[in-house]
Amino acid sequence: MDNSKLNIKHSPLQKSSKIFVAGGTGLVGSAIIQNLLEKGYTNIVANYHKRIPNNSKLNIKHSTLNTNPVKYVKLDLLDATATDEFFKSELPEFVFLAAAKVGGIVANNTYRADFIYENLQIQNNIIHQSYKNNVKKLMFLGSTCIYPKNAPQPMPEDCLLTDTLEYTNEPYAIAKIAGIKMCESYNLQYGTNYISVMPTNLYGPNDNFDLEKSHVLPALIRKIHLGKVLEENNWDAIRKDLNKLPIEGIDGSSSKEEIIGVLEKYGIAIHYHNPLSQPQISIEIWGSGKPRREFLWSHDMADACVFLMENRDFSDVINSEKDNSKFNIKHSTLTNEIRNTHINIGTGVDVSIKELAYMIKDLICFKGELYFNTDKPDGTMKKLTDVSKLHSLGWHHKIDLEEGIMRMYDWYKGNS
């Protein structure tokens, strides 16, 4: 391996640079696009697979932007030939690889083959085409689920591949580990400039609120919102919510009995103590509520990604003037090994699922009960990132959890 390749400085990101945001309609991708637009970038392309996204949902703050600030191209990133043709046609200079098949504990454990196959395919197609088409810099977005189930807390970058993964999301985690190693290997062999970042649990606008497949925070927000409008007997709000996002085919046109039945199936139950009393609403939450999780506002994540793309290269992570031991990088001059060059992105602060649920309950003003079903799995008990490398590279988060939840709830009410 030629170590001189590690010192290559690629051209800096310019306002007119051609930027491809893979997965630009998702939670992270849409936040990255909004951040880029607000900073004045003018040449952005993103892919969509099924429906053309509505640019108005980007909620751009600058009125001087064009009516259609982003070029959306229909592209299935699982299709290697189509991805090859896209790169040859568009010739992006910078790539944010935010496309992925994602989901909560149920989806990860149920669709194991889909999660490993689709994520590997997307990564392989984009990273290799970026190399073939001379992309100046690529950012690969992974997940902190790459770390062992019993990783030290907070989790440093150098605990990667030191122990067994959490079983429920093992296929997804293995795919993401492969993405890290693919970026690292292309850098070491070909002198490319690919950076891997591992975000903690993200939440924000354009999140997935599907009760079968969503992550814990958006699922709690939607369930507690539905509980609140149920206790208010606000059937207009209930039907509006289900028209926007039906549950197992039950939408706003369904009967009250059908709606109540499907809500109860997903843990939103109505209890009548006597025929004349107000109904009591309870919300079931999987597990004991004891596991602790760290949450990062998606626009903070986007800001971190754009900051690193603008200001840092792979060589900065390897050859920082800081002590490498502080960055947890394994760089041995004897064996010529370079490992753990990825960067955790998070807040460094966690909260229990029970604390999170009651925080949402209070912020939404839901008066009903929360029931923690201990017959259901908890998953990993604690997942907190060590963000010292990120802080040393010059970035800190800005939005705390309570403010982020209220922003997300306001967005959800306006889009449901």
- By annotation, the residues acting in catalysis are 172
**What tokens does 366 get?**
């839901």
**Are the C-beta atoms of residues 346 and 203 closer than 8 Å to each other?**
no
Asked whether 75 and 83 are in contact (CB, 8 A), the reply is yes
CA distance 139 to 95: 6
CA 37 – CA 24 distance, rounded (Å): 13
Structural Rg of the chain based on CA atoms: 22
Buried b (16+ CB within 10 A) or exposed e, 81-102: ebbeebbeebebbbbbbbbbbb
Report in angstroms the alpha-carbon separations of 358 from 64, 284, 354, 361: 41, 13, 6, 5
- At CA 87, angle to CA 85 and CA 89, rounded to 5? 65
Q: What does the CA dihedral 385, 390, 395, 400 come to, rounded to 10 degrees?
A: 0
C-alpha distances in angstroms, 177 versus 113, 183, 184, 276? Answer: 16, 10, 11, 57
Taking the C-alpha atoms of residue 107 and residue 245, their distance in angstroms, rounded to an integer, is 17
Where do we find the tokens 């896209």? 86
Dist. CA 211–CA 18, nearest whole Å: 37
> Nearest-CA neighbor of 37 among 73, 12, 74, 68?
68
Q: Count how many residues are written for the chain.
A: 416
